[in-house]
Amino acid sequence: MSEPQTAAPLVRVVLFEPEKAGNVGNIARTCAVLGAELHLIRPFGFRLGDREFKRAGMDYLEGVTLHDHASWTAFQGTLQPGARVFAFSTHATEVYTRAGFQRGDYLLFGPESRGLPVWLRDALPRLKLPQPGGGRSLNLSVAAGVAAFEAGRQIEGW
């Protein structure tokens, strides 16, 4: 008898070298609400036990499947063949609403102060959040929330 297959999470939010505990806590709350996984790739600019992280995540942290990866290489080693990883960047040309998200996709975001490094974003399909009013970029937790909810809308048809 084979083991039962578990359904993939709605999406997987991946934060590459996140710097701010509050942003990560807010993203953890979003993941809990959506039933999404949260993957964190070290190094971080904070400790997971930081008060700000816990305060932002509130009691939602118990409902989050959190994966802590030592490096990008370690994270890559966990990917199944055919896994789809989308890099979100202000340098992208394709708008995130046209991505055609599928259950289990990975949504990758870079650190708050610098975004994804060129070597990483150029190796992956890139998506952007339009900024018709201008400005450099959205706050990381806002961008991740907007993208994750759009993925959910595409996948579940909300």
> pLDDT of 126-141, one tens digit each?
999 998 888 888 999 9
Decide if 100 is inside a domain.
Answer: yes
* Residues across the chain: 158
Q: Where are the alpha helices (DSSP H) in 35-157?
A: 51-57, 72-76, 118-121, 140-156
> What's the pLDDT score for residue 5?
53
Decide if 4 is inside a domain.
Answer: no
How far CA 151 is from CA of 75, 95, 97, in Å, comes to 21, 12, 8
CA 128 to chain centre: 13
How does strand 126-127 pair with strand 37-41?
unpaired
pTM, full prediction: 0.93
Total domains in the chain come to 1
Decide if 6 is inside a domain.
Answer: no
> What's the pLDDT score for residue 55?
85
> What's the pLDDT score for residue 99?
96
Decide if 18 is inside a domain.
Answer: yes
**Contact yes or no for 114/90 (Cβ under 8 A):** no
Positions in the chain short of pLDDT 70: 1-6
Decide if 42 is inside a domain.
Answer: yes
> What's the pLDDT score for residue 53?
82
> What's the pLDDT score for residue 13?
98
Decide if 5 is inside a domain.
Answer: no
CATH number at residue 102: 3.40.1280.10
* Structural element, H or E, at residue 23: helix 21-34
Decide if 49 is inside a domain.
Answer: yes
Domain around 28? 11-156
Decide if 3 is inside a domain.
Answer: no
